[in-house]
Amino acid sequence: MSNIPQKLIFDILSRLEPKDLIRYTCVSKAWYALIHNQDFIKAHHERSIKT
């Protein structure tokens, strides 16, 4: 699908606002799965607390 490493996508998406993440679940099945992954949700939450 993409030449972009999954880890980089994870890092970029984890910096976005929740409303944007919901919109981006439509980009692909892989992004949908990533955004709904418990590890991603936890990382996003922890990052949002720090800022």
pLDDT at 1 over 60: no
What pLDDT does 2 receive?
72
Task: Give the domain extent around 42.
Answer: 18-50
> Alpha carbon 49 to chain centroid distance?
16
Domain annotation covers residue 11: no
pTM for this predicted structure: 0.82
Domain annotation covers residue 2: no
- The set of residues, in sequence order, having a beta carbon less than 8 Å from that of 16 and lying 6+ positions away, is 24
Domain annotation covers residue 7: no
Q: Which two tokens stand for residue 27?
A: 């980009």
Domain annotation covers residue 33: yes
Domain annotation covers residue 39: yes
pLDDT digits (tens, 9 = 90+) for 4-20: 999 999 999 999 999 99
Domain annotation covers residue 22: yes
pLDDT at 51 over 80: no
Q: What's the number of domains the chain is made of?
A: 1
What pLDDT does 7 receive?
93
